[in-house]
A and B are shown apart, each in its own frame.
Chain A
Amino acid sequence: MTLLDYAAWFASGCFGLAMLFATWRVIRGPAAQDRVLGLDTLYVNGMLMLLALGIRSGSGFYFEIALLIALFGFVGSVALAKFLLRGEVIEP
Chain B
Amino acid sequence: MSGVELPMWAAVPAALLLIASGLLTAIGSLGLLRLPSFQARMHGPSMGATLGCGCMLFASMFVSSAIAGRPVLHEFLITVFVVMTAPATAMLLMRASIYRARNKAGSAGGEVVQR
Contacts and interface: CB of A to CB of B under 8 A. Distances in A.
The answer on A and B forming one complex is: yes
Interface in B79-98: 81-82, 85, 88-89, 92-93, 95-97
Interface of A: 2-8, 10-15, 17-19, 21-22, 24-25, 31-34, 36-38, 40-41, 44-45, 47-48, 51-52, 54-58, 60, 63, 66-67, 70-71, 74, 77-78, 81-82, 84-85
Interface of B: 1-2, 4-6, 11-12, 14-16, 18-19, 21-23, 25-26, 28-30, 32-33, 38, 41-42, 44-45, 48-49, 52-53, 56-57, 59-60, 63-64, 67, 74-75, 77-78, 81-82, 85, 88-89, 92-93, 95-97, 99-100
